[in-house]
Amino acid sequence: MRIAIVDESGLRATILEEGLREAGFDDIHVVAPTGAFVARIERLAPDVVLMDLGTPSRDTLEEMLLVSKALARPIAMFVDESDDMMIGAAIDAGVSAYVVDGLRKERVKPILELAVRRFNAFAGLRAELEEARSALADRKKIERAKIILMESRNMPEAEAYALIRSTAMNQGRRIVDVADAIVTAADLIGGRA
C-alpha cells in the first residue's frame, strides 16, 4: 500500500511514518504542502493520504480540503484543535477519518484502516446512488419514447413498449438506446412529449 503523508512539520511526519513502519507499511512518501503539492500527490498515486495539519488556519484547511476532493482516495486528517465548522467542511470534502488530538504512532494503523473502510463504504454508496440515478434516467427516456410512439402511431402502451423492445433485440442494442433514438428523432422533426 502506497501512503502519502502531507505534513509541514518534520517531527509530526516522523511520528506518522514510525507508526506506519511499525505496522508493516514501507511505501511511505512525505509531501510538504507547498507549491504544486496536489500535482505531486496525484503523480505519486497513493492508496491512502494522511494529512497532519496540527493547528490549521482556515486557509490551510480549505487548501487541504481541495486536495481531498481532487484525489478521490481514503484520507485521514489529523488536527490538534477543531470546531464544528472545520469538521463539517472536512466531512463534506470527503475526508474519511478526522482525528482531533490523536497523533500517536500506535493509533496510526487503526486510523488508517478506518479511513480505508469508510472510504470504501462511501464509494460503494456513491456507486449505488449513481446506478440508481442512471436507471431512473433510462426509465424516463423509455417512458418518453413510449409516449411518442403512442401518440404518433396511436397505439397502446404495451404495444409501444413491445415495439421498442423488439427493435432493440433485432438490432442488438439496449432498449434505452433505441428509446434514445426515438426521442432524438422526435425532437429533430418537432415532435412533442
Residues of the chain with CATH 1.10.10.10: 132-188
Burial class (CB in 10 A: 0-12, 13-18, 19+), 131: exposed
Question: pTM of the predicted model, to two decimals?
Answer: 0.66
The model's pLDDT over 170-188, given as tens digits with 9 standing for 90+, comes to 999 999 999 999 999 999 9
- CATH class of the domain at 2-103: alpha beta
Which residues contact residue 39 at a Cβ distance below 8 angstroms, ignoring those fewer than 6 apart?
none
Q: Which of 185, 184, 163 is nearest to 175 (CA)?
A: 163
Return the pLDDT at 173: 96
The parts of the chain modelled with pLDDT lower than 50 are none
Within 10 angstroms of residue 97's Cβ, the number of other Cβ atoms is 23
| DSSP strand pairing (75-79 vs 27-31) | unpaired
Q: CATH number of the domain at 132-188, please? A: 1.10.10.10
Three cell numbers at 103? 497523533
Return the pLDDT at 192: 55
Q: Which of 52, 38, 54 is nearest to 6 (CA)?
A: 52
Return the pLDDT at 55: 66
